Amino acid sequence: MSGRLQAHAAQLAEGIAELGLVLADETVERLLAFGELLLKWNKVYNLTAIRNPQEVITHHLLDSLAVLPQLPTAGCLADIGSGGGLPGVVLAIVNPGLIVSSIETVGKKASFQQQAKIELGLGNFSVFNKRVEQLRAEDLPGGAADGVISRAFSSLADFVSLSGHLVAGGGALYAMKGVHPAGEIAALPAGWLASEVRALTVPGLDAERHLVVIRRAVDGVG
Ligand SMILES: C[S@@+](CC[C@H](N)C(=O)[O-])C[C@H]1O[C@@H](n2cnc3c(N)ncnc32)[C@H](O)[C@@H]1O
């Protein structure tokens, strides 16, 4: 593979090792290929504020990979407000056993993701160009999702209100956040609880990152 990210391939490999992940060379090549697509099409599709190749590695690829150990490894995962496919495309690339549905309301961003799906040969990835609140659980491949994730989408309360109907019984919502969102956790809608708030370290990213896991109170956690 050639392209602007190739000069940063070693940084990606080191970051993957630092996260304790073991990925096949072919998988790492696919991650780089997705990063190249983001860089190539960003101007046309207005996908992300990040235009620097090194930041594509840290802010997009490694940030998305950092949550991997906390997520279900099989079943269905829905990514809400996925923009240029983050973290959904990355998670689909590294986990072929997971069926990933990506929900994005802006047509050109969804089109980019569909193109990435084709170019990267992602059979376990589907894109829905819809507002999440208009999507029914039965529209997802496999029905209600075992996990529903978002990054930079909304407050935790809005995430739960707009997307909670897509979570299967016993499943969870996963919100990728910056600083510890204590105030947002206190404002969660009735019937939902933050069962875990985990501080994450992302190699090369000098910023606070947290993953908030939210479950229905009836699932007996809290
Ligand atoms: C700040 S961007 C984050 C994109 C991506 N998750 C990331 O981290 O790079 C939020 C995205 O949510 C999408 N969005 C906003 N409201 C939505 C809704 N109700 N349903 C689906 N997508 C929505 C926007 O179009 C936008 O692409």
* Sign for the pseudo-dihedral over CA of 103, 104, 107, 110: negative
pLDDT of 189:
97
Q: Is the CB of 102 under 6 A from ligand 1?
A: no
Mutate to test the pocket of ligand 1, among 56, 104, 149 (most ligand atoms within 8 A of CB): 104
pLDDT of 44:
87
189-222 residue pLDDT tens: 999 999 999 999 999 999 999 999 999 998 866 5
Question: Which H helix or E strand runs over 161?
Answer: helix 156-163
Q: Is 125:89 a contact under the CB 8 Å cutoff? A: yes
- C-alpha torsion angle, residues 163, 167, 170, 172 (rounded to 10): -50
63-219: in CATH 3.40.50.150? yes
Note down pLDDT in tens along the chain; length 222 residues.
Answer: 568 898 999 999 999 999 999 999 999 999 999 999 999 999 888 898 898 999 999 999 999 999 999 999 899 999 999 999 999 999 999 999 999 999 999 999 999 999 999 999 999 999 999 999 999 999 999 899 999 999 999 999 999 999 999 999 999 999 999 999 999 999 999 999 999 999 999 999 999 999 999 999 988 665
> Which residue from 137, 126, 129, 195 is spatially nearest to 163, judged by alpha carbons?
137
The amino acid at 120? L
Q: Is the CB of 83 under 6 A from ligand 1?
A: yes
The whole-angstrom separation of Cα 118 and Cα 123 is: 9
The amino acid at 59? H
**Residue with CA nearest ligand 1 atom 11:** 81
Give the E-state strand segments of the chain in sequence order: 75-80, 98-103, 125-128, 145-151, 167-177, 192-200, 209-216
**Residue with CA nearest ligand 1 atom 18:** 131
Q: Is the CB of 152 under 6 A from ligand 1?
A: yes
Q: Is 112:85 a contact under the CB 8 Å cutoff? A: yes
The amino acid at 37? L
> Which residue from 78, 130, 143, 126 is spatially nearest to 104, judged by alpha carbons?
130
Q: Is the CB of 105 under 6 A from ligand 1?
A: yes
> What is the residue extent of each domain of the chain?
63-219
State which ligand 1 atom lies nearest to the alpha carbon of 81.
12
The whole-angstrom separation of Cα 115 and Cα 96 is: 18
Q: Give the ipTM of the model, two decimals please.
A: 0.99
